[in-house]
Amino acid sequence: MPNREHFVAIIGGAVAGSVAAEILADHGIRVAVIEQNKRPYGKIEDGLPRWHAEQRRQEYERIDARLRKPGIYYVPCTRLGRDVEFDDLCDNWGFSAVILANGAWRDRDLGVPESEKYIDRGLIYQNPFIYWYNHKNEKSYDGPRYEAPDEALVVGGGLASIDVVKILQLENYERALKARGVQTSMHDLERKGIPAICKQHGFRPEELGVKGCLLVYRRREQDMPLAQPPENATPDQVAKTEAVRQKMLRLAREKYLFRFQERRLTTGLVVEEGRVAGLRVVETRVEGRKAEPVPGSEQELRAPLVISSIGSVPEVIPGICMKGEYYTFKGELLPQYGTSDHVFGVGNVVSGQGNIRVSLVHAQAVTTQIVENYIGVGNGNSDLSGWYAAAEARGAAQATALQERVEALPGLSESQLAALETRIRAFQERAGYLSGYDSWIAAQTPPDLE
């Protein structure tokens, strides 16, 4: 009997990576989960702001439950592109497949001349700012520290930019209340809202002297990507989604008191004494998806800090070919990387966007295809008719190509499996990972992690 055993590498151990690992392990496939950080929780720990305490705890538990399964080799502190080369991993290590689940950690460029020169000099990006916010109170935190000054300017419009303005407002009101001898908690301010907490302590918010940060968005408020219409939406459904977006913005502003300007396109930086002191913006005229600058409407918006929150895209990793801001995945239903037939993508890394559920469902769907149609070890019980129909409707040759693949991928030999295991163990040892998933996580969890 030929050996039917397979070994798959997954890059990134968070929502998408852990879901993929669990499905593979449940099919008797060995999995190496290569994670750059000590802990595998990705955007749950470092993106989702820490006021989502209960949701974060539950997601950690879900990820732990998946990653502690037998057959999964967790490899922490190992970064693709630094400790492991992409081409080497895909071409030489001998894995049956490689699944990229490394998310979207690169902030989209602000897109004005010289902006990269002023990073940390009056200009910062969303991802490091939220990382700081989530970890800043830990004794062991030694990363960059940021201020959250009043009247900061945030460029954005999506859900993450609302989190950024919330952070600024919570920090400023907590500070202002403290200066008046009132100790509040971030959790109370976030849950009940700034006006309610001020009232509880006998203040009107305007008495505290906080002017509030300003969020600028290039289109109209009803265009903000805070809610999405269904696919092929009717005009009525589009109108409803626009109303939902406006309501979400209004409620957030009532609760957190930030300022907002719509139809403002960033055209340049205001620089003083080597630091960003604001932005040059121009008004826009919005028609459909187009936001055209209105000539003669240029103005300066001055601010002690500018935070760019205009979306995240996958990081550039040496060896990975890019198509614009994204990796060269082809095929919507089974994102296959470039010309390689055994490298796939799941979760945020594919589109840069999404949420916890989207990453989870995407990883489930793609990994099921990989197991059943690429590796060919599934039980064939999944209903794939919709998948083939959809792929064929898109004119994709992929469905047929993979159908031919079923049962065709040879298993790895004993010596190939042993060689992979030896390499993986060496990386685990290098990281100090010696005694299993649970004891590692317990040892790596800061005692004061919020």
Told to check if 161 binds ligand FAD by CB under 6 A, we report no
What count of other Cβ atoms lies within 10 Å of the Cβ of residue 432?
Answer: 13
Task: Pick left, alpha or beta for residue 42 (phi over 0 → left; psi -120 to 50 → alpha; otherwise beta).
Answer: left
Stretch touching ligand FAD by CB under 6 A, among 74-82, 187-195, 331-339, 395-403:
74-82
> Can you tell me the distance from the alpha carbon of 287 to that of 264, in angstroms, rounded to the nearest whole number?
14
- Please state the φ and ψ torsions of residue 109, each to the nearest 5 degrees: -65, 140
Told to check if 348 binds ligand FAD by CB under 6 A, we report yes
Residue from 212, 347, 378, 411 in contact with ligand FAD (CB under 6 A): 347
Q: Please say whether the beta carbons of 123 and 306 come within 8 A.
A: yes
**DSSP result, 244-308:** HHHHHHHHHHHHH--EEE-SEEEEEEEEETTEEEEEEEEEEEEETTEEEE-TT--EEEE-S-EEE
Q: Which residue, 39 or 253, is less far from ligand FAD as judged by CB?
A: 39
The DSSP 8-state label assigned to residue 225 in this structure reads T
> Can you tell me the distance from the alpha carbon of 170 to that of 124, in angstroms, rounded to the nearest whole number?
18
Q: Which residue, 52 or 175, is less far from ligand FAD as judged by CB?
A: 52
Q: Which residue, 289 or 357, is less far from ligand FAD as judged by CB?
A: 357
Residue from 23, 27, 40, 283 in contact with ligand FAD (CB under 6 A): 40
Stretch touching ligand FAD by CB under 6 A, among 40-48, 215-223, 365-373, 413-421:
40-48
Q: Using DSSP, state whether 131 is helix, strand or coil.
A: helix
Site map 350..389 versus ligand FAD, x via CB under 6 A:
----xxxx-x------------------------------
Q: Which two tokens stand for residue 331?
A: 């095929």
List binders of ligand FAD among 113-142 (CB under 6 A): 130
Residue linked to tokens 């989604």? 241
Q: Which two tokens stand for residue 15?
A: 């929502």
Q: Please say whether the beta carbons of 21 and 10 come within 8 A.
A: yes
Nearest to 215 by CA among 116, 297, 309, 115: 309
Minimum CB–partner distance for residue 87 and ligand FAD (Å) = 14
Q: Which residue, 44 or 313, is less far from ligand FAD as judged by CB?
A: 44
List binders of ligand FAD among 42-61 (CB under 6 A): 42-44, 47-48
- Residues that bind ligand FAD (rule: CB under 6 A) add up to a total of 36
Told to check if 34 binds ligand FAD by CB under 6 A, we report yes
Q: Which residue, 126 or 184, is less far from ligand FAD as judged by CB?
A: 126
Nearest to 75 by CA among 93, 92, 62: 93
Minimum CB–partner distance for residue 164 and ligand FAD (Å) = 7
Minimum CB–partner distance for residue 44 and ligand FAD (Å) = 5
Stretch touching ligand FAD by CB under 6 A, among 31-39, 144-152, 217-225, 421-429:
31-39
Q: Which residue, 212 or 347, is less far from ligand FAD as judged by CB?
A: 347
> Can you tell me the distance from the alpha carbon of 309 to that of 307, in angstroms, rounded to the nearest whole number?
6
User: How far is the first Cα of the chain from the last one, in angstroms, to the nearest whole number?
Assistant: 52
- Give the DSSP H or E segment for 176: helix 159-179
Stretch touching ligand FAD by CB under 6 A, among 218-226, 272-280, 349-357, 422-430:
349-357
State how beta strands 30-34 and 264-272 pair. unpaired
Told to check if 103 binds ligand FAD by CB under 6 A, we report yes
Amino acid present at 45: E
Told to check if 398 binds ligand FAD by CB under 6 A, we report no
Stretch touching ligand FAD by CB under 6 A, among 249-257, 293-301, 346-354, 385-393:
346-354
Residues that bind ligand FAD (CB under 6 A): 11-17, 34-37, 40, 42-44, 47-48, 79-81, 101-103, 105, 130, 160, 163, 315, 317, 347-348, 354-357, 359
